[in-house]
Structure 1
Amino acid sequence: MATEDKNRATAAAILPLVGGAANVSSIAHCMTRLRLGLHDRTLVDDEALKAVPAVMGVVEDDTYQIVLGPGTVARVTPEFEQLVEEGRASASETPGPVHTAEELADKGAALKAQQKTKNSTPFKLFLRKIANIFVPLIPALIGCGIIAGLNGLLVNLGWLTSVTPALAAMASGFMALIAVFVGYNTAKEFGGTPILGGAVAAIIVFPGVANIDAFGQTLSPGQGGVLGALGAAVLAVYVEKWCRRWVPEALDVLVTPTLTVLISGLVTIFGLMYVAGEVSSAIGTFADWLLSTGGAGAGFLLGGFFLPLVMLGLHQALIPIHTTLIEQQGFTVLLPILAMAGAGQVGAAAAVYLRLPRNESIRKTIRSAMPAGLLGVGEPLIYGVSLPLGRPFITACVGGAFGGGFVGLFNQLGDSVGSTAIGPSGWALFPLLDGNHGLGSTIAIYAGGLLVGYVAGFVATYFFGFGKALLTEFNVSQEPAPSTVAATGPAAASGGTPAKEPAGV
């Protein structure tokens, strides 16, 4: 009961600060964020939201996003939805009070606003649509991935042999039908009927396609995978919209779904499955080639440039690639390398903490946000500390580069390190690790990469992250304002504005 009261209190604290129930047009959540559609953005009190104890930060994107962290967001969202319904019924909501912002939080918010403007290009908006298709699948990928790892461990140890077949079924069932879920979400995101998108995508995984010849070869169930499902569902949306325009209304309920499935299905069977299958194979082959030949160099570049990719919104293009690799090989070799960017950020934050011994405000921010950063939720540290300071953001990227180079080197030497799901990073990725040389070796390599990222980020920031002017400006006594001290949540003092989804994101 105490937990329910806490979640409801958090929801009740947030609602007036986003303009009340009348200002909320849509409510959704991903792994860490409460995503709100708002009628009037000017009614939102950003700084007061950042001071709410459970709030780690805010992001203004295509939706207004409030970071609450994994687990918490799934519990707060239903309470928030209920309060919105109650508020709409009574129409008595009013905006909350205004709190004073910290200097770094202001800088972080301004940088995020600037970046949002730059990110509103057609290509980046398209990438957001792609991300919105795959992000809802992350909880199932994580759950099934952890069960798969547990099952593999039991099989290797020869324990609970009567249970392992059941665990294998639990772990593999979702992946066997992931194309259907992708098709459903794709049609929903592109404005079609979701179930028709799922129906067309289901053709790809239907065992009976093994009896069909296309392009001189027999099709295989699952050929084309998630990419084929995505393409098939997009095609279904366009066919459906065309039918809605031309089919008489009296016949629409019969003709439109029939033509949508028929036309899209034929194109999928005799075209998309083959093409998407070739593209999927090429992605897997390229990833293997990149890390087996480029190894340390490829890892260095991937780990070093991931945070800038996030800032540009281009990281969303990697989500279908991760999913394709998981579908093909059982794990994605890219995610553990990209996770090193978070390790560099943690190391950089530790160095900032030591370099600014008299700035209690920033040090409090770092103490509050560091546990989340270690678990892969680096947004409060990024937008609350390193990016507003400037140079520490660059040195954090340096730390990520060295960590990525370390993991990439072992891939080059033949020890593949992968993740069975996307989303988590940092220490939270350990339960999802998999590779080709045993779990112990995989864990050791990933842990070594994190350590290298921490150390490199710390050293680079400590020695090169501060100029004299920056030290003079920030290394002074700056006790937090009373309103900030009162906010004891993980990122309340930071005002940090998040930069990304878990790697996922």
Structure 2
Amino acid sequence: MATEDKNRATAAAILPLVGGAANVSSIAHCMTRLRLGLHDRSLVDDEALKAVPAVMGVVEDDTYQIVLGPGTVARVTPEFEQLVEEGRASEAPAARTAEELAGKGAALKAQQKAKNATPFKLFLRRIANIFVPLIPALIGCGIIAGLNGLLVNLGWLTSVTPALAAMASGFMALIAVFVGYNTAKEFGGTPILGGAVAAIIVFPGVANIDAFGQTLSPGQGGVLGALGAAVLAVYVEKWCRRWVPEALDVLVTPTLTVLISGLVTIFGLMYVAGEVSSAIGTFADWLLSTGGAGAGFLLGGFFLPLVMLGLHQALIPIHTTLIEQQGFTVLLPILAMAGAGQVGAAAAVYLRLPRNESIRKTIRSAMPAGLLGVGEPLIYGVSLPLGRPFVTACVGGAFGGGFVGLFNQLGDSVGSTAIGPSGWALFPLLDGNHGLGSTIAIYAGGLLVGYVAGFVATYFFGFSKALLAEFNVSQEPVPSTVAATGPAAPSGGTSAKEPAGV
């Protein structure tokens, strides 16, 4: 009961600071953030929100995002939704002013959206919206898979391990269906029709079908095929809605949607998507086996900027494809090193600014989350506003990524069975080709290298004389650039980590 009261208190503290129930148009959450659609952005009190104890930061994107952290956001969101419903019911007359509020905030909202409304970023955001809801299941099944593998290797609980294997594998066997469902929903079609078409890909009976001179195999094309099939189904459905008479719509539209999309999927998309998926796996293996250290250095070093630009979302289907093919993604442990560089950089900032208790307090409160892979508080509260420490954090991530990449090049693959967590939270999801002990040791070594490199780079090169003089005497919080520039960081995540959190 105490926990429920705490979550409700957090929701109650947030609601008036975002303009009240009448100002909230939509509510959703990802791995770490409460995402709100608002009628009038000017009614939000950013500074007061940041002062709420449970709030780690705010991010301005296509929605207004309040960073609460993993676990907390899933508990606060239902309480917030209930408070909004209660507020709308008790303020019925005020609800009539929603259009007026929307009109007042339209110009500001359009200005904020324009920064991140390029076609490419909008496409990536849609991709993230498809895959981010799947992350909790990927994490849960991934941890069970790791536990099952450990028990099998030890020869323990042999009567239980088959059940654990079924739990771990069931979702992955049908992930194409969930991708199809979410894709149709995201692109404006009927979700169940998208799932129905995508289900063709994993149906065992496709093994009796010949296409392009070869027999299809269940699961061929994977999530990429499911995504393509569902998008096609949406377009076929919309075409049918325009041309099929209303009296026949309920019968003809679903039939033609599944029939046309299904035939194209079987005799085209499954083959093409299968080839693309195989190429992705082959390229990832080649990249890390031939240029592992260099590739890891670049991937680990540039991941934080990718997050800031929202481009990391393009990696989500790649991670999922690798997990489908190989059982783990070799990219995520390397990208997770960006978070290690961030932690090391924050530790150096703490020591370099002994007189600035405001920044040091922020670091103390955000460091545990950073160690567990939730990087937003340290990024938006410390390194990014200061400038140089953000760059030196990237240097730490580069060295950590290079360390893990080097071992991949030497034949020790280090991967993750799910996407989402990073930092210490990734340990239960680690897998590789040379045993769990070796995999854990390499990943831990990469974290250590990232911490040390980020610390050293920041301590010696992270501050100019002017910057050090300015912030080593100030007791005011670091001026956040989030509201001003609105850096995007998904979903997830990330995040990561959202997916591929930092």
Q: TM-score, normalised by structure 2?
A: 0.92
In the alignment, is the contact (CA less than 8 A) between 1:280 and 1:324 conserved in 2? Answer: yes
CA distance in 2, matches of 1:102, 1:402: 52
| CA displacement at 1:54 relative to structure 2 | 0.6
Task: Name the structure 2 match of 1:496.
Answer: 493
Give me the whole-angstrom Cα distance separating, in 2, the residues matched to 1:100 and 1:344.
48
For residues 496 and 331 of structure 2, the distance between their equivalents in structure 1, rounded to whole angstroms, comes to 19
Q: 1:195 to 1:94 in 2, by over 3 A?
A: closer
Q: Residue 382 and residue 110 in structure 1: after superposition, are their counterparts in 2 closer, same or farther (change >3 A)?
A: farther
Shift of 1:271: 0.1
List alignment gaps of at least 5 residues for structure 2: none
Aligned residues: 502
Q: Is the contact made by 1:196 and 1:261 (CA closer than 8 Å) also made in structure 2?
A: yes
Q: Do the aligned partners of 1:133 and 1:185 also contact (CA within 8 Å) in 2?
A: yes
Distance 1:100 1:355 in 2: 51
C-alpha contact (below 8 Å) 2:31/2:497 kept by paired residues: no
Going from structure 1 to structure 2, the CA distance change for 1:251 and 1:382 (only over 3 Å counts) comes to same
Contact 2:139 2:429 in 1 (8 A): yes
Gap change, CA 1:176 and 1:477, over 3 Å in 2: same
Q: Deviations over 1:285-314 (max 9, x none)?
A: 000000000110000000000011111111
Aligned-pair CA distance for 1:42: 1.4
Q: Deviations for 1:287-345, whole angstroms, at most 9, x for unmatched residues? A: 00000001100000000000111111110000000000001000000000000000000
1:114 corresponds to:
111
- Measured in 2, the distance between the counterparts of 1:103 and 1:503 equals 40
SS of the aligned residue for 1:221 comes to coil
For the structure 1 residues 346 and 433, does the alpha-carbon distance in structure 2 shift closer, same or farther, using more than 3 Å as the test? same
Judging changes above 3 Å, is the alpha-carbon distance between structure 1 residues 107 and 28 closer, same or farther for their aligned structure 2 residues? closer
Identify if the C-alpha distance between structure 1 residues 400 and 417 changes in structure 2 by more than 3 Å, giving closer, same or farther: same
CA distance in 2, matches of 1:232, 1:139: 24
Residue pairs, 1:279-318, within 5 angstroms? 279-318=276-315
Alpha-carbon offset, residue 478 of structure 1: 1.0
Output one character per residue of 1:32-64: Cα deviation in whole Å (capped at 9) or x when no partner.
111111111111111111111111111111111
- CA change 1:497–1:411 in 2 (3 A) is closer
1:118 is displaced (CA, Å) by 3.8
- The answer to whether the 8 Å contact 1:303/1:405 transfers is yes
Q: Distance in 1 between matches of 2:479 and 2:408?
A: 50
Change (3 A) 1:484 1:210: closer
Q: Would the alpha carbon gap of residues 104 and 447 (structure 1) be closer, same or farther in structure 2, given more than 3 Å must change?
A: farther
Distance 1:19 1:92, change over 3 A: farther
Note if 1:257 corresponds to 2:254.
Answer: yes
Offset of residue 499 of structure 1: 8.6
Distance of 2:412 and 2:244 partners within structure 1: 57
- Alignment-derived partner of residue 12 in structure 1: 12
| CA 202–11 in structure 1, closer or farther in 2 if over 3 Å, else same | same
**RMSD between aligned residues:** 5.8
Provide the rounded CA distance (Å) in 2 between the counterparts of 1:42 and 1:164. 55
* Alpha carbons 2:340, 2:450 under 8 Å: kept: yes
* CA-CA distance at 1:369 after TM superposition: 0.4
Distance verdict in 2 for CA 1:194–1:426, change over 3 Å: same
d(CA) in 2 for partners of 1:214, 1:377: 45
Name structure 1 gaps, 5 residues minimum.
none
CA shift at 1:106, angstroms?
Answer: 26
The answer (yes or no) to whether the contact 1:107–1:388 under 8 Å persists in 2 is: no
Contact 1:376 1:502 in 2 (8 A): no
Counterpart Cα distance in 2 of 1:216 and 1:264: 21
Q: Is the partner of 2:26 in helix, strand or coil?
A: strand
Moved more, 104-113 or 156-165: 104-113
Q: Relative to structure 1, is the Cα distance of residues 105 and 155 closer, same or farther in structure 2, using a 3 angstrom cutoff?
A: farther
In the alignment, is the contact (CA less than 8 A) between 1:52 and 1:487 conserved in 2?
A: no
Q: 1:501 to 1:355 in 2, by over 3 A?
A: same
CA contact (8 A) 1:380 1:496 kept: no
- Per-residue deviation, 1:367: 0.5
- Deviation, 1:119, is 2.8
Contact 1:383 1:496 in 2 (8 A): no
Q: Which has the higher contact order (CA 8 A, sep 6+)?
A: 1
Cα 1:492–1:31 shift into 2, 3 Å: closer
